[in-house]
Amino acid sequence: MIFGYQVDKDIKLKILEEREAEPLFKLVDNNRNYLAEFLPFVEHTKRVEDSKYFIHSALQQFIDGNGFHCGIWSNKELIGVIGLHYLDLVNKTTSIGYYLAEDFQKKGIMTKCTKALIRYVYEEYDIHRIEIRMSTKNKKSRDIPVRLGFTQEGILRNNERLQGEFSDSYVYSLLREEYDD
């Protein structure tokens, strides 16, 4: 899956490569105001080199066996990113993060991609728990774990800075025994 996984006839997940820094930067830059509302990295992504650095770090993370980040491609256009923030094989846990271009919202794409990644994680790794966190103000992101059967565990208070203000985050989890493909 890491190197290429067809989610449906139009959507494919593929691990990000350094040569894709320009399309990644373009994705972030073209959706800057939309993404910055809930993603703190956006304000620090000012040049193609910043996206290249992210991809380089993500590839190192993959090499180290500590997670990975895939581009979400729609008919050869990079429209989003999904990945594992970390992969803790000692505690058998991981955390999923994702974002999608504004024009591709409300089409079920991210739900399908998240479901595919969950399936991959449970099939390929001995993981017991998957977590997803998001700002309490991010209803669209919250809808995804709810649709996929995750349980809301609580709220982390003021755990993230978004546009200069502290924000609370929901914590959702899915345990292996709750997973229903």
Residues 33-92 pLDDT 10s: 999 999 999 999 999 999 999 999 999 999 999 999 999 999 999 999 999 999 999 999
Let me know if residue 118 belongs to a domain: yes
Whether residue 104 lies inside any domain: the answer is yes
- For the chain, the domain total comes to 1
The pLDDT value recorded for residue 156 is 96
Does 18 map to a domain? yes
pTM for this prediction: 0.94
- Whether the pLDDT of residue 3 is over 90: the answer is no
Q: What CATH number does the domain containing 56 carry?
A: 3.40.630.30
User: Which residues are 86's β-sheet partners?
Assistant: 95
Asked whether residue 160 is assigned to any structural domain, the reply reads no
Which residue range(s) make up the domain with 111?
A: 5-128
Residue 171: closest CA among 149, 152, 146, 144: 152
**d(Cα 20, Cα 67) in Å, to the nearest integer?**
19
Residue type, 170: Y
Classify residue 175: in a domain, yes or no: no
Q: How far apart are CA 20 and CA 15, in angstroms?
A: 10
**Is 20 inside a domain boundary?**
yes
Backbone angles phi, psi at 93, to 5 degrees: -130, 160
Q: What is the model's pLDDT at position 1? A: 43
Given a contact cutoff of 8 angstroms between Cβ atoms, the answer to whether 61 and 67 are in contact is: yes
